[in-house]
Amino acid sequence: MNNWKEQANMLSRNFTFQDFTEAFAFMAQVAFVAEKLNHHPNWTNIYNQVEIHLTTHDAGNVVTEKDYELAKFIDQIYKKYVK
């Protein structure tokens, strides 16, 4: 979790991949987890870069345990791509 930054009521992290296909596969895997947790990220993707911002809208757009839980799952997914 030390790569996540908490600021402006968000947890944020950037991820880098070898190419667009790898970045998109990562996003698809995160999407399934996010849907299961009913907690969805704000994110952008440009080629091999994915930027994720987590905040809990239901709690007034602040960082909650839900954000830390999803961040933990995202980190586990990303480990598959780190070489």
User: pLDDT, tens digit, for every residue of 9-18?
Assistant: 999 999 999 9
Sequence ranges of the domains in the chain: 5-79
The pTM is what?
Answer: 0.93
Does the domain formed by 5-79 have CATH 3.30.1360.20?
yes
Q: Taking 70 as the threshold, does the pLDDT of residue 47 lie above it?
A: yes
Q: Taking 70 as the threshold, does the pLDDT of residue 8 lie above it?
A: yes
**Reading across the β-sheet that carries 10-16, which strands appear in turn?**
5-7, 10-16, 49-54, 42-46
Q: What is the pLDDT of residue 1?
A: 62
Contacts of 81 (CB under 8 A, 6+ apart): 15, 17, 18, 22, 26
